[in-house]
Structures are given as structure tokens and as C-alpha cells.
Amino acid sequence: MERIVFLDRQSLKAEVRRPSFPHAWEEHDQTPESLVVKNLAGATVAITNKVPIRRASLEQLPDLKMIAVAATGYDVIDIDACRERGIAVANIRNYAVHNVPEHTFAMIFALRRNLIAYREDVLRGRWQAQDQFCFFDHPIQDLHGSTLGIFGEGALGQATAVIARALGMRVLFADHPPPKAADVEFTDPETIFAQSDIISLHCPLTPSSRNFIGIEQFKKMKRSAILINTARGGLVDEHALKTALETGLIAGAGFDVLTKEPPKEGNPLLELRTPNFILTPHVAWASDGAMQFLADQLIDNIEASIAGKPQNLVT
């Protein structure tokens, strides 16, 4: 009989049906990394969203056959060690193709039209003190006719592009090493940085993509540009972003992710109090519908693997 252990059940606010095959089920609200081996002792299937499962832990878990990641990103898993040990790793695909792009554009609209700055002005009485019907303290930029540069041409990047084109925007996808999506025309990253009015990140965090946007990239961007990251913390040098916003290298940024989450030990971006920076707590993915879709696919992945017909494998 399979033994399934969910390491961080609290991270998923949805009904999770039990697999159809005989099994024992155990779940923990949260699991510190120091207790991963203890909680997974004897488990054949591990479920994790953000709890890391590294080589040192895997070496102490001889019964483990599968890791079901309750997310698309799988950087918390030591993929090489899993491959060496024959442990299948499956992730979630295409579950946030509407809500992440919608969150992306919520941030884009707010920043391009300076909604937060104008709202703060109203709350401070600025409008009430005027002698005409409006005031123009902050620039308001149209999306129609502007250029959106996208890093990542997967389902989320392409869904974001669909919205952009519907708004009359020009879309550029950044070139990168293979594999690449079919039927997507790529642009070199230098052109993306130089020409984009908005840059949106929808790519995975890998050793090659970590901190790939730093101060040198900000210097290449338009001073009127904004940067959106609903992908992964660690893609952008956070200290460099703080400097870029404080010195006017770029006009604004919207982030849903940080390098370490939750940021209990602080983060330079938490120090920003200006209306041209929006930070949300990694909730772009978290609509009720998307979470239920994720929960259902999570169990589908486990059932497929145990049936010998694995799906959505990353190893």
C-alpha cells in the first residue's frame, strides 16, 4: 500500500480528493526543512508546494518513489538527485493561465495609470483643495501602442501576450536557449530591454536565470519602463531593483514574489514606500478556481504515476 505525505497542506486552499488506489494519507500544515526526513519516513509519495527536498534528505528516504509538486515551479526539488535515484517528479501544468496574466495586468494598469499615487492624493485631501475638476500630478500612460517584452513563452507568457495584443500592444518575446515554443518569434534580450515600455517575467528560476536582471539591465531600460514579476523571486537582483526605483532608472515595478518567502528576515523591497512599487504576497496564482484545478491535477498526477502511466514529469 502506498503511503502519501503532504508536507505543506496549508499552502493549498482547496478540497483535495483522496487517490482511488489503496493508500495511507498523512498531511502536515507546514514542514520545516529540518523535519522533512522525519515526516517522510516510510513515504512512497511526497507532496510539496514550497518545502525543499534536497539530496541529503533523499538519501535518507529509500522508500520514496514519487514527488508530486503542488505548483508549476520545482526549484525546491533536487532534480538531479531524484533522477539518479529513479524518483519521479511531476508538477502542475497550465492551471493559472488566466489568473496570473490577469494579476500581471492588474499591476500594469495600476502602474501605467498611477492609480495608487492618485488614490493617496485623494486620501490626503489633494483633490478637495483644487480649484478645478482634476489635477495632473502624476503621468498617465496608455497601454495601446506600447511595447510589452516577455521573458518566458510558456502558457503564462503566451496568455499574457493574448491580453496585450487585445489592448493594442506590441509584444516581443525574449530569445533564449532551446527548448523554445513553436510559432513564437523571438527578439534578442538587449532589444527587449531597450524597446519595452513594460517587461513581464514568466520564466522559471534556474541557475542561469538567477538575478539575470540587475543594475546593468536596468540601465538599458527606458526610464519610463515598468517591470512586472509574477514568476519567481530570484530572477531579479532585489537590491538593484530598489536602487533603480529610488534613482529613477525605471518608472515602476510590480512584484508578486520575493527571493525568500515569507520574508521573515527582511528584504530590501519591503523598505519601499513609494506608489510606483506594488508588492503582493505571492497570490497571483491563488484564485479559488485555479487552486481547485491545481488540487485535482495534483491527484491526477499521483494516480497516473502509480498506475505506471506517469504524466507531467520533470525528470
196 pLDDT tier (thresholds 50, 70, 90): very high
pLDDT digits (tens, 9 = 90+) for 250-278: 999 999 999 999 999 999 999 999 999 99
Q: Which domain, by its residues, includes 234?
A: 99-279
Q: Is residue 315 part of a domain?
A: no
- Which residues are marked as active site? 232, 261, 282
pLDDT reading at 120 higher than 90 = yes
How many structural domains compose the chain? Answer: 2
Nearest to 306 by CA among 30, 85, 65, 50: 65
Ordered DSSP codes for 269-304: GGG---TTEEE--S-TT--HHHHHHHHHHHHHHHHH
182 pLDDT tier (thresholds 50, 70, 90): confident
Q: Is residue 153 part of a domain?
A: yes
If 0-12 CB within 10 Å is exposed, 13-18 middle and 19+ buried, where does residue 309 land?
Answer: exposed
pLDDT digits (tens, 9 = 90+) for 128-179: 999 999 999 999 999 999 999 999 999 999 999 999 999 999 999 999 888 8
Residues 203 and 256 in one domain: yes
Residues 122 and 242 in one domain: yes
Q: Is residue 45 part of a domain?
A: yes
Residues 103 and 83 in one domain: no
Residues 133 and 237 in one domain: yes
Q: Are strands 2-6 and 198-201 parallel, antiparallel or unpaired?
A: unpaired
| Residue 204, C-beta contacts closer than 8 angstroms, at least 6 positions apart | 73, 75, 152, 231, 232
C-alpha cell of residue 97: 493561465
Residues 84 and 121 in one domain: no
Query: What is the rounded (10 degree) CA torsion for 100, 105, 107, 113?
Result: -170
pLDDT reading at 32 higher than 90 = yes
Structure pTM? Answer: 0.88
Q: What is the CATH number of the domain that holds 15?
A: 3.40.50.720
